[in-house]
Structure 1
Amino acid sequence: MSLPAAFLNAVERLIPRERRFDDPLSTLAFGTDASFYRLIPQLVLRVESEREVVELLRLAHAERVAVTFRAAGTSLSGQAISDSVLIVLGDNWNGREIRAGGAQIRLQPGVIGASANAVLAPLQRKIGPDPASINAAKIGGIVANNSSGMCCGTAQNSYQTLAGLRLVLADGTVVDSEDAGSIAAFRKSHAALLEQLAELGRQTRANSALADRIRHKYRLKNTTGLSLNALVDYDEPLDILNHLMVGSEGTLGFISAVTYDTVPDYPHKASALIVFPDVANCCRAVPVLRQQPVSAVELLDRRSLRSVENMQGMPEWVRALSDGACALLIESRAASQSLLHEQIAQIMASIAGFPVEKQVDFSEDPAVYNQLWKIRKDTFPAVGAVRRTGTTVIIEDVTFPVEQLAEGVNRLLELFDRHGYREAIIFGHALEGNLHFVFTQGFDSEAEKARYEAFMRDVAQLVAVEFGGALKAEHGTGRNMAPFVELEWGAEAYQLMWKIKRLLDPRGILNPDVVLSADPEIHLKNLKPLPAADAIVDKCIECGFCEPVCPSRGLTLTPRQRIVIWRDIQAKKRAGIDTTELERAYRYHGLDTCAATGLCAQRCPVGINTGDLVRQLRAAGAGHAGTARWLAGHFATVLKGTRLTLAAADSARKLLGAPRLAALSAGLRQLSGERLPQWTAAMPQPVRLQLPATAQPSDQPRVVYLAACVSRAMGPAAGDAEQVPLLDKTRALLEKAGFAVVFPDNLDNLCCGQPFASKGYPEQAEAKRRELLDALLAASRGGLDPVYCDTSPCTLRLVQDLADTRLKLFDPVKFIREHLLDRLEFVPQHEPVAVHVTCSTQHLGEAQGLIDIVSRCTTQVVVPEGIHCCGFAGDKGFNRPELNAHALRSLKDAVQQCGEGISTSRTCEIGLSHHAGIDYHGLVYLVDRVTRTKAPRPSA
């Protein structure tokens, strides 16, 4: 059914065009969340204020238009999708306020969970919920789903740690439980609603059988249905309302802000892995451990251990475990190390009588406990990585009473075998009896759908009826379990939920068919296709974990959305459907505005680098291989031309002045159809390259200095306080530290190949890379001398898949960290310095190393939050400046107290300087400024 004209007309007046999406590409991109459902919205609206939400809900309420709210879209049960209007949070929902020294924190719904914890960390506090998706999930979704996690349990979830709520009801009314004026106005305007809530509470508490059932159900982790415990835990109707909102999945209102009571974040921790010979002994140990000072106890069955046993870094002994083995991963945390040791002794004594097949003792060593947790965290992606293309990965989470956990596990294993899910694994939060089970499922045939339906009905009967457990413990009911809510709760409680829904959403406009549905087969409809698209991305499960680090998120597409669209294009082509228009739109949204830096791979559970797909597609469309070959063969000429171009631009600046040149450049770019690059005041001046003569033999240690092509062409900007080119500054620093600096022969012809790779010419890129590696091998005397590369993206390209182990290649961070710190004396400055960790520095594993070095140089280090990639991406900052501007839209405010920024890529620094309003330099400038040669130690 199409949207009413009156609604659309009003929305056009309310929401600017750039935040309204109804084109086929955008609506398809937003038609997926992390679940196995797909609904294509008719209209997507990006909202930036509470006022907009209020007006939209008033319009939707008046016109009976269904709306769904979406934060990060990491929901696993289909609660963040819509075939009507999808309301998506924009940038301006990121407010946070620490209160009472960290005892409380007020958060807007767009704050990522991990970001909330980052601001609380210095106070040794954190929010209670700790979902596995915390690096991507936003507070709005965490509260709306009552998400929990490994350490959270039932005591520290959003329901239990809620201190205040600001919400917007279906009719557009705002009420803030922490604002006396708002409460007074609401009591007056909605007295009838509050009285009805109070009456529902009184009736429920008076019905002892129902009240006891509700209390009994919530002794377990439980997110099935609406939060009926609000009716027995509270008698004040506003408290009831607030706690009904927790876990309501957007079906009762919009959460505009939440205040949490925070929980301790103890600094000392240790983990152990205890492998028991069978499920029974493993599960019998859980109630014992519940009485001990443990923060987490994770169960892993033999199948889950087997799924990761061949992964890189896994201990050899995992493969040798018996078929019936079952493990517990145990963590304990404490405020002091001595208390931690006491707790460990107490924990181990409590389970000393249990038979053990294998044991990794408690360790405080991060290398040890991180490896143990890697076993646990890699189980889900391990199943995803082996699934057949076209199938999906389904992760369910149920709760058994802890005292019946062993029987529950074994009965689930029987169901897997009965329904043919041989790959299925079980793991979970054992302290709460909360088990996740993961299996692969195809929906491409009626037989497969019937198999899934039969399996889920058996699971529902087993968990909810036979064991009296919960069908959803922390992932939310969504569409997935909506048909089974009555089975779990019984008719009386189920009808009570419907009364609440109709009271707060009388016209049924809020996220229909989620949590409660009149359709008994809603869980079998709108199933998401995952067609083959390309081997690079076919393992994608569309979880959305990649999205927070993508620079084009909010401008065009995210990595998840790029994959969604490409899958659809390939499926349509196979079906004979014309994809010309979709591919034309995809060229800009999918390819041209992708930075292709691969940060998405670091967040992806199965390691997918969407940038690899983009480069491959660029290569397929690249039609100038001959030109690329000529450029590769005449690279010194290319660099000379680059310097001449920069010199011409600098002459124009001197003649016209920077403001006029910037305006002229913008005009010419527009007239050229955005083919001409954009000039800014941060544009570099040309380098006048004069390499020194070959270093004379000496007793000094040698270092081969690879000055990247950008360092050989691009000097400082005209307005920069630093006017010494990077090449000269680096050489001076290396010599200050006592190194003899050597340059490769024929340097101006050398290139790592990155410019060719990013443009879709892999053959020419690899030829240049090979040529450079050969030159470095010769310059380093067969690998005897270290090689210093002054630009981190070039270093990354050279070391990736490097087969020649003789070469010792260093980016600036690693070389300074390993070779210069002991040779230089640091006198830190007090002026604050901003740090941008480039994508390549992150891939090289040197992010913390960079921050640590800058911390030696200044007493005030500023790392802007939420900027993971600057989006300059080689020459994208010149040719697609909107990507760079979008990625750095929050930079200026974040670094306004700084006088300088530091990075390790000259091109990134151009965009950073332009958008920050301060000059960004290579790391060596700062290190050189605050160091002097360390005086030799006096001989004894």
Structure 2
Amino acid sequence: MSQLLTATLREQLPTSQVITDELRRLAYGTDASFYRLIPQVIAIIENEAQARHVMATAHRLQVPLTFRAAGTSLSGQAISDGILALIGEGFATCEIAADGGSVRLGPGIVGGEVNRRLAPLGRKIGPDPASIGAAKIGGIAANNASGMCCGTAQNSYRTLAGLRVMLADGTLLDTEDPLSRDAFAKSHAVLLGELERLGQSTRANPRLAERIRQKFKIKNTTGYSLNALVDFEDPFDILAHLMIGSEGTLGFISRITYQTVVEDPCKASALVFFPDIRSACEAVIRLKTQPVAAVELLDRPALRSVQDKPGLPAVMRSLGDDAAALLIEVRAGDAAAVADRIAAVHGALAGVATVEPIQFSTDPATCEMYWKVRKGTFPAVGAMRKTGTTVLIEDVAFPIAALADATLDLQALLRKHAYDEAIIFGHALEGNLHFVITQDFATPSEIDRYARFMDELCEMVVSRYDGSLKAEHGTGRNMAPFVELEWGREATELMHRIKALFDPAGLLNPGVILNADPQAHLAHLKPMPAAEDIIDRCIECGFCEPLCPSHRLTLSPRQRITSVRELARREAAGEAAGKIAEDYAYMGLDTCAGCGLCSTACPVGIDTGDLTRRLRGRRLNDGARAVNAWSGRNFGVLAGAARAGLALGHAAAAVVGQKTLAKLSGGAWKLPMPRPGRAPAAIRASGDPVVYFPTCGGRIFGPTGAGDAQLGDVVSELLRRAGYAPILPEGFDKLCCGQMLASKGLAIEADAMSAQLEAALLKASDNGRYPVIMDASTCTARMQKHLAGRLQLFDFHEFAHDALLPRLMIVRQHEPVALHINCSVRKSGSDAKLRALLKACAETVIEPAAVTCCGFAGDRGFAVPELNRHALRHLKPALPAACGCGVSTNRTCEIGLSAESGIDYRSIAYLLEKCSRPQNTC
């Protein structure tokens, strides 16, 4: 079957889009839930024709089919043991109406990217899940995902303006196109007629209709969106709204149009502490009618999980065991309106007991700190959990009047089942509570504990409070066995009729939303074995993926961790590593840039690059380790040989041509390739002493143009121009920070090189008396970490912003300049200074949003040039024709950027030097 399945898919899909290897079927098939199914095959779809072919193949061969966007789903709705159809970049479309009032989106675009594009118009999409920085529109719509501010009024269901949907038989309906509607009315008259009859019979049943309306007064994603049957009469409207929250079980949403909502520019937040849950919930009830944007509830364990983090209020550490907090935010179009809303909150909460007086802040840094309290709770539990356990985050909802009793009951239930680490937080205005537990699924007794807890939880939510078993995370596999418990037989049978109407063969995401197996939530549990201490805290959420340069080329950070965990599981079980280990060498190690951007999005701060470096070091044999160690000890010789190689390459290119040489070198000879670099000469100058260490990237790789100045000379000239006397460390041309060895996993040897450089910098700086600057961000970041504050060490752009700009006369350049902020600058948080420095030099700055890490990664751009090409695939289309140059802060990054963009990228130092020349005429 697998060979036939693969062959059939490849009839219309390129071979590269039909994935059958064991490693990627495992890695790509993993989502953020605690379930695992391994797909038979993965098909990457880039357009509707390919989606239709995959759909037809599934029906022809009777194979289950699941469509998947980002895989941030928490309830097991994005996995499959049949065909897993990954939504490709061809579906990452975005069309914004001129007034910003609506936006038409493909399912493959990330929600946060949509909001970034809408921001200049003062608009955003309504849904605001916590995963919006990674979750894609397809998943947001298919799960009816919401979040902290959208409530039930601004979710996908309420802000839907139209959609294109492909049904199980391959038919495409565009609800915004009259011609499509007319054609569909003729071809699918039976389906539309049945939907109309279902709506009529439901509305004519007062008890059922009222039951449905009541259920959707609070957040509810359990089962299908039955409210479509009572909210609408037109069968097209019913169909469209049934698709929202259907989790891919009724059809494939290939495009959706949202009515956007206002993004108020002025905000204020308050973190208010209460002596107990009941007082906090009383406050929530009073705030329900007030003009507040968000009210987040945190119980005492949730506060305790983050109370020791720097900058948080000291009172958090002295709260009683029964205490709770509300994070309240108000928003408005101007400061005066914000002040009015703050006053309204104070008035509403008058007389409610609080630990401290309520204080709102409009300071962005303070508000961000408050929100870190809320957002940091879930990862805090994940980071502290026992190795081998899984983090589970569930969400339920209760009528707001019962929120206090329900929260206390939920706390008691968690204690009863020994979930002592559990925390509770949630969107209080909607009665929506999230709770986080850590669960071991490795033994029958632990699985039984979880089963008993789930049974009691569902009984408590439904029977005691008539709440929602799923408020915003989707039904998935976890709550599918409990849908009838919540909804009752009549409503559940209605759901079964809807499923059969759209998917009579039952092939679209089977087992999700509706599942006849009462034990389905205990099947296909994902193993989480101990693997490496660096990654054991990973919760496989996928937040890292949009930032990773190798994502969709080979593996993302989450997929690397999944693969390493599987290899660890096999080793512990005495199973052969098989082809997974062989393929991981290239997909996991060779094509990892090690940039660490994943850590900036990771809820628990994991840098998967650290894992890669460790594993690279382990696979080095003694010979390779000895050669690399020799290189570190004799770096001056190595640098000289590299310069000689560049010179030889240019000589060869002059004979055979650049393109021929590029082919002969397998792409390692980049176009345009830099000329050999050289070290700057020591020149005496008067002024304030400053130590300048020219990094090896600039010393080895010179400028692209034959007549261009060397980087070291440009920086030295700038320093002298600004009244500084640059001091070059003794023997600097033989020194290196050790990054080249660290990237290969040779930590000890790399640290030895760092120590040598530290000694030279200490001597040159008179034991730290003078500041030290370096001209490559990666090297600066490594040495700043190594020195741990023992020296004043600055990246060039930081020193230029702080110390050079005030001393230089700048004339801004008229022509637009492209900016690439590399990984080290992003991680160090110095990107604001780089932007400010560039804006001082150029009137127009272009910063392509779709580009994160360039993927050159030191020597990766030469060893695996496809990584650099993939990482920068969106760069050239994002640059306007008038943009003739670019800037960054790492020489090797600039080589890759130049090769893939067609324009010359150089250090920001070149532009600053040009714009600060005496009698400048830029």
TM-score by length of 2: 0.98
Higher mean displacement: 789-798 or 768-777: 768-777
Question: Residue 597 of structure 1 contacts residue 873 of structure 1 at CA under 8 Å; is this kept in 2?
Answer: yes
Aligned to 1:162: 160
Deviations 1:321-345 (A, max 9, x none): 1111110000111100111111111
Aligned to 1:314: 312
- Flag the 1:366–1:934 CA change in 2: closer, same or farther, 3 A: farther
AA aligned opposite 2:171: T
Aligned to 1:685: 675
SS in 2 for 1:361: coil
Cα distance in 2 for partners of 1:415, 1:182 equals 52
Aligned to 1:735: 720
Question: Residue 622 of structure 1 contacts residue 761 of structure 1 at CA under 8 Å; is this kept in 2?
Answer: no
Matched, 1:714 2:698: no
Aligned to 1:432: 430
Matched, 1:928 2:913: yes
Aligned to 2:886: 901
Aligned to 2:483: 485
1:367 deviates by 1.6
1:801 deviates by 4.7
AA aligned opposite 1:680: K
1:360 deviates by 5.9
Counterpart pick for 1:836 among 816, 820, 825:
820
Aligned to 1:938: none
Cα distance in 1 for partners of 2:398, 2:133 equals 28
Question: Residue 776 of structure 2 contacts residue 795 of structure 2 at CA under 8 Å; is this kept in 1?
Answer: yes
SS in 2 for 1:686: coil
Aligned to 1:30: 28
SS in 1 for 2:837: helix
- Flag the 1:933–1:330 CA change in 2: closer, same or farther, 3 A: farther
Cα distance in 1 for partners of 2:678, 2:306 equals 54
Cα distance in 1 for partners of 2:384, 2:659 equals 56
Aligned to 2:744: 759
Question: Residue 680 of structure 2 contacts residue 713 of structure 2 at CA under 8 Å; is this kept in 1?
Answer: no
Matched, 1:703 2:690: yes
Question: Residue 481 of structure 1 contacts residue 523 of structure 1 at CA under 8 Å; is this kept in 2?
Answer: yes
AA aligned opposite 1:886: H
1:3 deviates by 4.8
Question: Residue 680 of structure 2 contacts residue 712 of structure 2 at CA under 8 Å; is this kept in 1?
Answer: no
The equivalences for 1:139-178 within 5 A come to 139-178=137-176
1:800 deviates by 1.3
Cα distance in 1 for partners of 2:605, 2:374 equals 16
Deviations 1:362-416 (A, max 9, x none): 1111221111110110100111111111110100000010011000000001101
AA aligned opposite 1:629: A
The equivalences for 1:249-398 within 5 A come to 249-359=247-357, 361-398=359-396
Matched, 1:798 2:796: no
- Flag the 1:823–1:200 CA change in 2: closer, same or farther, 3 A: same
Cα distance in 1 for partners of 2:488, 2:629 equals 72
Deviations 1:141-173 (A, max 9, x none): 000000000011000000000011011111111
TM-score by length of 1: 0.96
Aligned to 1:136: 134
Deviations 1:524-556 (A, max 9, x none): 000000000011100111111111111111111
Q: CA RMSD in A?
A: 1.5
Cα distance in 2 for partners of 1:681, 1:883 equals 15
SS in 1 for 2:359: strand
Cα distance in 1 for partners of 2:660, 2:389 equals 57
Question: Residue 850 of structure 2 contacts residue 875 of structure 2 at CA under 8 Å; is this kept in 1?
Answer: no
AA aligned opposite 2:903: I
Higher mean displacement: 627-636 or 549-558: 627-636
Aligned to 1:880: 864
Counterpart pick for 1:67 among 65, 72, 87:
65
Question: Residue 226 of structure 2 contacts residue 242 of structure 2 at CA under 8 Å; is this kept in 1?
Answer: yes
AA aligned opposite 1:468: D
Cα distance in 2 for partners of 1:339, 1:140 equals 35
Matched, 1:824 2:811: no
SS in 2 for 1:705: strand
SS in 1 for 2:665: helix
Structure 2 unaligned runs (5+)? none
Matched, 1:850 2:834: yes
Cα distance in 2 for partners of 1:527, 1:103 equals 43
Cα distance in 1 for partners of 2:767, 2:357 equals 46
1:628 deviates by 2.3
Cα distance in 1 for partners of 2:56, 2:664 equals 46
Cα distance in 1 for partners of 2:186, 2:445 equals 56
Question: Residue 109 of structure 1 contacts residue 255 of structure 1 at CA under 8 Å; is this kept in 2?
Answer: yes
Cα distance in 2 for partners of 1:239, 1:932 equals 65
- Flag the 1:220–1:553 CA change in 2: closer, same or farther, 3 A: same
Cα distance in 1 for partners of 2:6, 2:620 equals 41
1:558 deviates by 0.8
The equivalences for 1:494-573 within 5 A come to 494-573=492-571
- Flag the 1:445–1:190 CA change in 2: closer, same or farther, 3 A: same
Cα distance in 2 for partners of 1:366, 1:419 equals 41
Question: Residue 702 of structure 1 contacts residue 740 of structure 1 at CA under 8 Å; is this kept in 2?
Answer: yes
Deviations 1:812-844 (A, max 9, x none): 221122112212233222322111110011111
Deviations 1:177-219 (A, max 9, x none): 1112111111111111111101100000000110001000000
Cα distance in 1 for partners of 2:320, 2:109 equals 44
Cα distance in 1 for partners of 2:808, 2:350 equals 53
Aligned to 1:622: 620
1:290 deviates by 1.3
Question: Residue 835 of structure 1 contacts residue 901 of structure 1 at CA under 8 Å; is this kept in 2?
Answer: yes
Structure 1 unaligned runs (5+)? 667-676, 936-940
SS in 1 for 2:147: coil
SS in 1 for 2:360: strand
Deviations 1:775-830 (A, max 9, x none): 11111122121111100000000111533x34111112211221122122332223
Question: Residue 30 of structure 1 contacts residue 41 of structure 1 at CA under 8 Å; is this kept in 2?
Answer: no
Cα distance in 1 for partners of 2:682, 2:443 equals 70
Aligned to 1:669: none
SS in 2 for 1:327: strand
Matched, 1:865 2:863: no
Cα distance in 2 for partners of 1:100, 1:864 equals 22
Cα distance in 1 for partners of 2:252, 2:689 equals 63
1:934 deviates by 11
